[in-house]
Structure 1
Amino acid sequence: MSRLPARIDDLPTSMVDVAETLGLRVVLSLIQNFGGCDLRFPVRPGPDHPVIKALGETDGYALCHFLNGEKLYVPHARRPRSVLADVKRMEAQGMDRGAIARALGVSQRHVRRMSNRSGDDRQPDLFD
């Protein structure tokens, strides 16, 4: 697993504006809690909203106010790894793709790709 960025210049482009406005600490907390997920930031978040719970009231409300009504993909800033078996196991346990992505530290897109795989990636011999 790679380390989280230490400077604003090391962040993915999508996170730079947030870091410049609210600080690197808020972005790193966002990445740690929601990395790999698409989030929609409500216009009027309640205290039970996942962003408010994860970041705390001050940072959570500030972030929701800044990204008022927007949808944002939060990069996970981690090195990819094979998670096919983990995804299949967690789906069999009834977990949704967002929860699986957070648990494994990968994106929801990656979970979807793994979920749609049959487990055998070999190309069949078309001329056999």
Structure 2
Amino acid sequence: MVSNVSVAALPLSLQEMADTLGVALVLKLIAAYGGTEISFPKNPDENHPILLALGNEDGKALCDYLVGQLIYVPHMRPRKSARPDVLALQGEGKERREIARLLGISQRHVRRVANKPEAPNQFKLFED
């Protein structure tokens, strides 16, 4: 993630958070949870995934700021065709949240791709 990102370059949904807590913290959040939905507890314990991913001080500051909320964290990566990768990881039994994190795409996109039927006029190059 680029370190000299301005608040204006962030998605609108994260700009207020960046104004309040700083761009660096928001970039850490994007790096750790981009493309997924995450909820913020009131009193996270020291082993809570948010504190482990962002550090104790930043994690607690974020939990205090977003206490009790469920937010979608944009991933800020360029779009790419992910269908083959999504279907392969789903075939391996991975959960959609994990697929999103592995591929750097949103959970919503994973859900859309996984639920979209194969195009009827699409020819297969190789047999299954």
Q: Same fold (TM over 0.5)?
A: yes
What letter corresponds to residue 70 of structure 1 in structure 2? Q
What letter corresponds to residue 22 of structure 1 in structure 2? L
Contact 1:3 1:78 in 2 (8 A): no
The 3 A distance-change label for structure 1 pair 119 and 44 is same
The 3 A distance-change label for structure 1 pair 117 and 6 is same
The 3 A distance-change label for structure 1 pair 121 and 11 is farther
What letter corresponds to residue 105 of structure 1 in structure 2? G
Taking only the aligned residue pairs, the percentage that are identical comes to 43
Contact 2:3 2:24 in 1 (8 A): no
**Matches of 2:85 and 2:29, distance apart in 1:** 24
Q: Are residues 1:106 and 2:105 paired?
A: yes
The 3 A distance-change label for structure 1 pair 116 and 72 is same
**Matches of 1:96 and 1:80, distance apart in 2:** 21
Query: Which structure carries more relative contact order (alpha carbon 8 Å, separation 6+)?
Result: 1
Task: Tell me the residue number matched to 2:126.
Answer: none
Task: Tell me the residue number matched to 2:116.
Answer: 117
Task: Tell me the residue number matched to 1:56.
Answer: 55
What letter corresponds to residue 64 of structure 1 in structure 2? C
Structure 2 unaligned runs (5+)? 123-128
RMSD: 1.9
Structure 1 unaligned runs (5+)? 124-128
CA offset at residue 17 of structure 1? 1.5
| Cα distance per residue 1:34-87 (max 9 Å; x no partner) | 111111111111222221111010100110011011111101111111111101
**Where in structure 2 are the equivalents of 1:27-38 lying within 5 Å?**
27-38=26-37
**Where in structure 2 are the equivalents of 1:1-128 lying within 5 Å?**
6-120=5-119, 122=121
Calculate the TM-score normalised by the size of structure 1.
Answer: 0.88
**Matches of 1:41 and 1:5, distance apart in 2:** 26
